[in-house]
Structure 1
């Protein structure tokens, strides 16, 4: 989960940069491009968190048999 936390911290810094760009009246295309990068960073952090949880579930006693696939599917879909 450490990598997800690092991704979130970087995304937080990038988002602050986007806010500054807006305050400075920077070019719309440049702002949207940076905002898209923040969005991708958040998506990757979310997927890393879900994947880590999935890995933990599979490593626990019961393996895949104890996995609530509907819950995992719902988590992944919530990120899309």
Structure 2
């Protein structure tokens, strides 16, 4: 069993929209570097991109956990294994 298809589609749309915004931000940072903008301004934009990427990752991790737990419970398995796998995946991200 997985997440409700409409919720998953909505999450996918949201994530893709965020990634397109991040893509635009990264192109903007490249232009800033080419234009000789100050390092301070560039670092601020890099921090914004980093925060945006973290949000994409957190939302993706939440989706993964929900799917793993739902699947484990539907199959009558102990959800502890799913939680342990999630923690390992989270550690790789963090």
Give the TM-score normalised by the residue count of structure 1.
Answer: 0.84
2:87 is matched with: 73
Unmatched 5+ residue regions in structure 2? Answer: 1-10
Q: Match of 1:68, SS?
A: helix
CA contact (8 A) 1:43 1:79 kept: no
Unmatched 5+ residue regions in structure 1? Answer: none
1:55-75 C-alpha deviation (Å, 9 max, x unpaired): 112222147824422321122
Give the TM-score normalised by the residue count of structure 2.
Answer: 0.73
RMSD: 1.9
**Shift in Å at residue 30 of structure 1?**
0.5
Larger radius of gyration: 2
Q: Match of 1:56, SS?
A: helix
2:65 aligns with one of 54, 63, 67: 54
Count of aligned pairs: 80
Call closer, same or farther: CA 1:31–1:64 in 2, change over 3 Å: farther
Q: More displaced, 62-71 or 13-22?
A: 62-71
